[in-house]
Every structure is written in C-alpha cells, then in structure tokens.
Amino acid sequence: MTKEIGLHRLATTLKDFRKDNKISQEDFAKQLEIARSTLSYYERAKSEPPIYTLVKMSEVMNCSIDELLGTTKAITNSDKEKFSYNELTEKIYYLNELIDRNRKNYEDLIMSKKRTERMIDELSMSKKRTERMFDELLMSKKRTERMFIELNRITNRSESDILTFQKLSKEFASLLDKNKSIENEYSKSIKEVNEDNIFNYSITEKENFLSSNLKDLISNLNFIPIDVVGEVSCGTPSYAFNEISKSIALPSNYKDCFALRVKGNSMNKLFKDNELIICCRNKTPIDGDIVIAYLSENNEATCKKIHKKKDKLELHPCSTLPYEIQYYDKNSDINIIGVVLGSLTDILDLENIDIEDLEEKLNTI
C-alpha cells in the first residue's frame, strides 16, 4: 500500500483548529516553531510539510498524523467505484500545476543562461575593442615622441632645412588629429565598459534594503513604515489576504498607503509578477485609475484599470496576454479599497530616491 498526503485535508484541519481555538496565524506558527509565511503556505495547500513538522502539529493539536493528513489506501479494483471524481480532478490539477511550474522554471533558466552568455560575449567584444584602442594609442604615442625628437633636430638645422621642417610640421599636425580621434573613440569604449559594469540594485534588493533598514531610515531620514499586507491577483480575482507580512520604509508623504505584492500577468504592461505596488487607501478613484477592487461576496480582490459608465463599472486588464474585461452593475457588491500609485520602483524614481545614496547616508550617521 502507498500513502499520500492530503494537502487540502491538512490545510482545512489547520484553519479549523485556529478558528476553533481563536488563535492567530502568528501565534500558531510560534507554537509549531515555524515561520508565519510557512504556515500560510500549509493553510493554502501550497506546500507539503516535512515529517518533523507533522509530528509537532500532532503534538500541539492533540491528534494523530493520520487524522491531520487524511491518509488513503492504495486503489484496488473494489475501491475504484468509491474513488470520487473530485479527488481525481484535484490530483490531476495539482500534477498539471507542478508540471507547469517546472516548465516555467526551466524556461526561465534557459533565458537567464542566454542573457548571461550574451552579456559575456558583449563584454568580450568591448574588451577587445578597448585593447585595440589602447594598442593604437601606444603606437600613436611612440610616433608622436619620434616626431618631437625630429622637430628638435630640425630647429637646430640651418635655414636651408625650413622646407623639411614645414613638411614634418604638417605631418605632425595630422598625427595629432588622428591621435585625438583615437582618444575620443577610446574614451567612448571605456565609457561602454564602465556602463556595463555599473552596479544597479535589483527590485528585490531595493525592497530588502527598505525593509532591513526600516528603523534607521525612520529614525534618521524622515521615513515612515508602510505595511506589506499580502498579495493581490493580476489575473482572475483571488482570495484577499489581510495579514502584514513585513514593512518597508517610504517618505512620510505616503502615510495613508499600504503595499501589496502582484500575482499574475493581467497587468504585466505596468507591473511585473511578484512586484510590490504602493496603494493609497484614502484617494478617490477616477476613470482610468489603477485600483484594488474587493468583491466582498466572495472575499476576493483584484488589481485592474477602472472605467466608470452610467450604471456600470468595468475592470480592464493591461496585459500583453488576452485577459477579459470584468463587468459589474450597480447591484454588485464591489468596493475600491485603494488606488495604485505605482510600483515600488516607480515611487522611488518619482521621489528621486537612490538606494546607493541612502546606504551612504546611513553609513555616515
């Protein structure tokens, strides 16, 4: 016989236990000696816990591991009629989801490899150009030195050598022009190499810096904490989360704001998947704004561009992919809980905030 972990059964059991015992996700995670984010994955059936975590869960919840997991027997001919269609569908869905994730990861690795190889090729070509320019400069320098020596000899000759001197002077001027041209081309090549090697903070590094240096930025540079309250779907609406995962530092004029992490590609013309967006909860949305819309009937939230028409409200995607427009009438229970001001990178650019400058300021304090 084989056993398999019922992730949905485990997720339901964990959430029911917290609800029945009125325990927050943070406190329950501490009892289980795991991170809150890890518990969140278990409760959404997105991750399979290791055996030592299952043992800890059974101790805290005072139940057996079999009760937690809802283990099932291997399917025999007599059991086939009892095996529900929903269970088969669920297993097929998660197998397909796992295949898609692995395929996407593989494609991302291939693209990353190609970009890296292309960068290496470009750097190699730039290096060769620089070396060639440097060799030409050395040759030009030697020619110039020879010309100066020859000019010194000419100045000591008699007046009969003036014509020769003038000829050499013209040659020397021509060489100087060529030397200047080579220097200009060499400088341009050096600039290209420097630009290729300039260190740029990635989106993730900017986010981590503003989170890890939160206290110092608040104490010394007039920043305030902005809570990252969860994720929002940029696809079909998905369940909204309202638990603070962490906080980041932003200038004090963003006091009425919160941050959400984008999930999906229906807004990929504006925001990348997994990118943080900054939202204002007190701004009144106007036609064409990017908003966070909350569908209270299903406890779902989504990020879309809003268009208002008489008795209707439309939520439009901004994507390179074919997503459908969502339509709602005046009877729909839909609330706009925030207007999107932009991605974290957009806000930093708008406020002329350079992470490297911030780091230097903190180091000098």
Q: Are residues 261 and 165 in the same domain?
A: no
Residue with tokens 């015992």: 21
Residues 261, 259: Cα–Cα separation, whole Å: 7
Does any domain span residue 213?
yes
Residues 285, 170: Cα–Cα separation, whole Å: 72
Residues 47-83 pLDDT 10s = 889 888 888 898 999 988 878 876 644 444 444 444 5
Give the helix ranges, DSSP H, for the chain. Answer: 7-21, 25-32, 36-43, 51-61, 65-69, 85-155, 162-197, 203-212, 214-220, 344-350, 355-364
The answer to whether the CB of 344 falls within 8 A of the CB of 362 is no
Among candidate residues 162, 197, 232, the one where a domain is terminated: 197
DSSP designation for 201? -
Residues 266, 323: Cα–Cα separation, whole Å: 6
- Give the CA radius of gyration of the chain: 33
Q: Are residues 209 and 331 in the same domain?
A: yes
Residues 268, 235: Cα–Cα separation, whole Å: 10
Measure the CA dihedral 267/268/271/274, to 10°: 100
What does the pLDDT read at residue 22? 93
Q: Are residues 260 and 343 in the same domain?
A: yes
HSE (side-chain half, CA atoms, 13 Å) at 42: 25
Residues 156-207 pLDDT 10s = 776 667 777 777 778 777 777 777 777 676 665 555 444 444 345 688 899 9
Residues 69, 3: Cα–Cα separation, whole Å: 10
Among candidate residues 197, 231, 250, the one where a domain is terminated: 197
Q: What are 58's two structure tokens?
A: 């059974």
Q: Are residues 265 and 335 in the same domain?
A: yes
Q: Are residues 175 and 308 in the same domain?
A: no
What does the pLDDT read at residue 172? 77
Measure the CA dihedral 216/222/223/225, to 10°: 80
How many separate domains does the chain show?
Answer: 3
Residue from 55, 68, 50, 57 nearest 9 by CA:
68
The answer to whether the CB of 171 falls within 8 A of the CB of 147 is yes
* Residue 188, domain extent: 121-197
What does the pLDDT read at residue 77? 45
What does the pLDDT read at residue 187? 62
**CATH for 22:** 1.10.260.40
Among candidate residues 171, 197, 223, the one where a domain is terminated: 197
Consecutive sets of 10 residues in the chain, 365 residues long: mean pLDDT of each? Answer: 61 90 93 91 89 88 82 46 59 73 85 91 91 90 88 73 76 77 63 44 88 92 91 64 82 93 91 93 93 84 90 91 89 89 94 92 86
